[in-house]
């Protein structure tokens, strides 16, 4: 059934869909209403013209025949509106109405010698001329408008619909709730054709491919209602409707894939093209045009990456994560290349609100200037082995700034740097650190390195590095304390100076007595082992009060200071 439906509507596929996208029609009911109003006004007019009565209106005695003019004008206005709103239909209707009035007028002139009908004869003729002129003019401007509209929805290079047309169609289908699939298509190796043969040949290839696909969509050969558009470059998009199952979508895509199999000859050179196809479905995968595009893109990128002989893939939610991660990876690489990783400084205080120092927190700017959160890029940088470069950029920049600020202010405060354990394990880690310390001139006693608790466990190499750091005179803080699995004996051997209690414990602290006691015991154990303790993520007065009561040494949190840009932090250092 779907095949038939597809085939029969295939011919008008592209052209009619395009028209449907851009044309906003006046409802037919308005036409019927206008014809009806005209009939009513004509009947009233005839009645009034024959009447010799008069009627009282606002104290004046007015002959009924005086209303003839009003109804006649009303009738003419209706006819003009009909032409303007319904063009050909309105024009033909208006002509029929006007022509039909001639016999009636002539009869009344000849038979009854009605002089008023001679006036009507002239009015009718003038109305007819006016309507013909208006119609001719409307047609001209309509054709012009259609051309403008066509240019807005047609891709100039290939002559097939463009991205705008495609999104309009999708939004239209979404509004109507009609199921469809959107296929993201990307030609394989197009860039190398462009690079080796030049842009002109590249353009011809795009035209050739677009032409084949457009003919296919028009023919309805695939058995579905298809709409092909060029989004830009070698990216195309296919909207498929009128299919039964997921298999029919794949079948349709295969038809488009096969259309590429035949060689494309340009300037006596043969080109054999292939493409990758990723698709998503409305409403199954998403209900917004934008996300559907992203879903289809994610599937297309994945199949491209896999490089398999199968070139078609359906979207699955897991792909979106992958896609996002890849996007973040691209952003990280670009930011590192452009030296766009920078830092904010979050102040740390003792319980009397005296400044202890700052934690340097990595920040990254996207090319469009948007800040990407470390929660997003740090885990990915760790995964792809770029965390050391981020750590080092933050360290180098913040140490340089901090050394200058210390010299200028004479303050004695600490700079805490986050170091990923992956970075710590690298062979040349210690040399890298020494270099930055030498170049920046930051005094080691003002430097602290934060290492996450969970990952340090059971690593001799990590332990050795920490010992070396300590030997250099740098302080060591155990970050996110409480989230790992430290045993007491492990803690006892830890060459650290500071425990940072993780924010999750501070969040919970005031919800029950046992949570509070838990934090209190961490602080006690820390003190027994000769460590200072800092609580992270302190936001509320009640938390601050409890932390004071249970003997915490320092706090870091929004209550007293958010991460600041360096200029703001400098003001705090100067006034410390």
| Complex with Ca ion: residue 479 or 570, whichever CB lies closer | 479
| Complex with ligand C2E: residue 477 or 523, whichever CB lies closer | 477
- Interface pick for Ca ion out of 76, 101, 194, 418 (rule CB under 5 A): 418
- Interface pick for ligand C2E out of 361, 364, 455, 546 (rule CB under 6 A): 361
Long-range contacts of 187-196 (CB under 8 A, 24+ apart): 187/234, 187/236, 187/273, 187/274, 187/275, 188/273, 188/274, 188/275, 188/276, 188/304, 188/311, 189/274, 190/233, 190/234, 190/273, 191/234, 193/271
Tell me if 362 contacts ligand C2E by CB under 6 A.
yes
Other residues' Cβ atoms within 10 Å of the Cβ of residue 138: 17
Q: Which stretch binds Ca ion (CB under 5 A): 57-65, 175-183, 328-336, 450-458?
A: 450-458
| Complex with Ca ion: residue 123 or 475, whichever CB lies closer | 475
- Interface pick for Ca ion out of 168, 286, 323, 480 (rule CB under 5 A): 480
Cis peptide before 49 (omega within 30 of 0): no
* CB-count burial class (<10 Å; 0-12, 13-18, 19+) for 287: exposed
What does the block give as tokens for 547? 């932390």
Instruction: Reduce the DSSP state of residue 426 to 3 states and report it.
Output: coil
Tell me if 357 contacts ligand C2E by CB under 6 A.
no
Size of the site for ligand C2E (CB under 6 A): 23
| Complex with ligand C2E: residue 280 or 538, whichever CB lies closer | 538
Nearest CA-CA partner of 325 in 387, 378, 394, 370:
378
| Complex with Ca ion: residue 117 or 418, whichever CB lies closer | 418
Tell me if 297 contacts Ca ion by CB under 5 A.
no
β-pairing, 554-556 vs 532-536, is: parallel
Q: DSSP string of 357-412?
A: EEEEEEEEE-TTSPEEPHHHHHHHHHHTT-HHHHHHHHHHHHHHHHHHHHHHH---
β-pairing, 447-452 vs 475-481, is: parallel
- Interface pick for ligand C2E out of 161, 557, 570, 573 (rule CB under 6 A): 557
Q: Which stretch binds ligand C2E (CB under 6 A): 268-276, 291-299, 384-392, 460-468?
A: 384-392
- Least distance CB 450 / Ca ion (angstroms): 4
- Give the whole-angstrom CA distance, residue 149 versus residue 163: 14
Q: Which stretch binds ligand C2E (CB under 6 A): 58-66, 275-283, 432-440, 557-565?
A: 557-565
- Least distance CB 417 / Ca ion (angstroms): 9
- Give the whole-angstrom CA distance, residue 345 versus residue 567: 10
Instruction: Reduce the DSSP state of residue 62 to 3 states and report it.
Output: strand
Residue 486: contacted member of Ca ion, ligand C2E, none (CB under 5 to 8 Å, by partner type): none
| Complex with ligand C2E: residue 361 or 496, whichever CB lies closer | 361
Residue 394: contacted member of Ca ion, ligand C2E, none (CB under 5 to 8 Å, by partner type): ligand C2E
Tell me if 479 contacts ligand C2E by CB under 6 A.
yes
> Footprint of ligand C2E on this chain (CB under 6 A)?
346, 361-362, 373-375, 378, 387, 390-391, 394, 418, 420, 479-480, 536-539, 556-558, 563
Point out which residues bind Ca ion (CB under 5 A).
418, 450, 479-480
């Amino acid at each position: 059934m779907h095949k038939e439906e597809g085939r029969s509507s295939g011919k008008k596929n592209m052209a009619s869909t395009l028209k449907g996208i851009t044309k906003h029609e006046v409802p037919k009911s308005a036409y019927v209403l206008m014809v009806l109003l005209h009939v009513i006004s004509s009947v009233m007019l005839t009645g009034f013209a024959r009447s010799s009565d008069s009627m009282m209106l606002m104290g004046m005695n007015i002959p009924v025949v005086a209303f003839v003019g009003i109804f006649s004008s009303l009738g003419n206005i209706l006819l003009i509106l009909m032409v303007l709103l319904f063009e050909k239909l309105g024009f033909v209707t208006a002509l029929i109405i006007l022509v039909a009035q001639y016999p009636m007028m002539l009869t009344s002139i000849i038979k009854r010698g009605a002089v008023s009908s001679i006036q009507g004869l002239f009015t009718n003729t003038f109305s007819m001329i006016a309507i013909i002129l208006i119609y001719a003019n409307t047609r001209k401007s309509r054709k012009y408008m259609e051309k403008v509209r066509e240019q807005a929805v047609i891709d100039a290079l290939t002559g097939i619909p463009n991205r705008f047309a495609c999104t309009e169609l999708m939004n239209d289908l979404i509004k109507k709730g009609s199921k469809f699939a959107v296929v993201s298509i990307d030609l394989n190796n197009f860039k190398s054709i462009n690079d080796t043969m030049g842009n002109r040949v590249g353009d011809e290839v795009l035209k050739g491919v677009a032409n084949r696909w457009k003919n296919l969509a028009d023919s309805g050969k695939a058995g579905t209602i298809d709409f092909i558009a060029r989004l830009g470059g070698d990216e195309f998009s296919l909207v498929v409707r009128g299919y039964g199952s997921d298999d029919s979508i794949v079948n349709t895509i295969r038809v488009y894939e096969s259309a590429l199999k035949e060689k494309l000859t340009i300037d006596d050179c043969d080109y054999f093209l292939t493409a990758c196809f990723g698709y998503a479905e409305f409403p199954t995968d998403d209900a917004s045009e934008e996300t559907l595009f992203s879903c289809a893109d994610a599937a297309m990128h994945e199949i491209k990456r896999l490089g398999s002989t199968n070139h078609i893939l359906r979207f699955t939610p897991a792909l979106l994560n992958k896609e996002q991660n890849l996007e973040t990876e691209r952003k990280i690489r670009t930011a590192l290349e452009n030296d766009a990783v920078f830092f904010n400084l979050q102040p740390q205080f003792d319980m009397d609100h005296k400044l202890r120092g700052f934690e340097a927190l990595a920040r990254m700017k996207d090319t469009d200037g948007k800040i990407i959160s470390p929660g997003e890029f740090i885990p990915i940088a760790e995964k792809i082995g770029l965390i050391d470069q981020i750590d080092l950029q933050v360290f180098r920049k913040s140490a340089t700034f901090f050394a200058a600020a210390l010299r200028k202010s004479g303050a004695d405060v600490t700079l805490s740097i986050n170091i990923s354990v992956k970075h710590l394990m690298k062979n040349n880690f210690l040399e890298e650190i020494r270099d930055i310390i030498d170049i920046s001139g930051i005094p080691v006693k003002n430097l602290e390195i934060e290492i996450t608790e969970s990952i340090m466990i059971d690593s001799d190499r990590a332990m050795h590095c920490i010992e070396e750091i300590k030997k250099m005179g740098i302080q060591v803080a155990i970050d996110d304390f409480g989230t790992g699995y430290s045993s007491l004996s492990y803690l006892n051997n830890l060459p650290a100076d500071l425990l940072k209690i993780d924010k999750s414990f501070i969040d919970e602290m005031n919800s029950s007595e046992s949570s509070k006691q838990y934090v209190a015991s961490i602080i006690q154990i820390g003190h027994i082992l000769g460590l200072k303790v800092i609580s992270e993520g302190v936001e509320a007065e009640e938390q601050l009060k409890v932390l004071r009561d249970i003997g915490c040494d320092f706090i870091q949190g929004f209550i007293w200071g958010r991460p600041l840009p360096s200029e703001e932090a400098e003001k705090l250092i100067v006034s410390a």
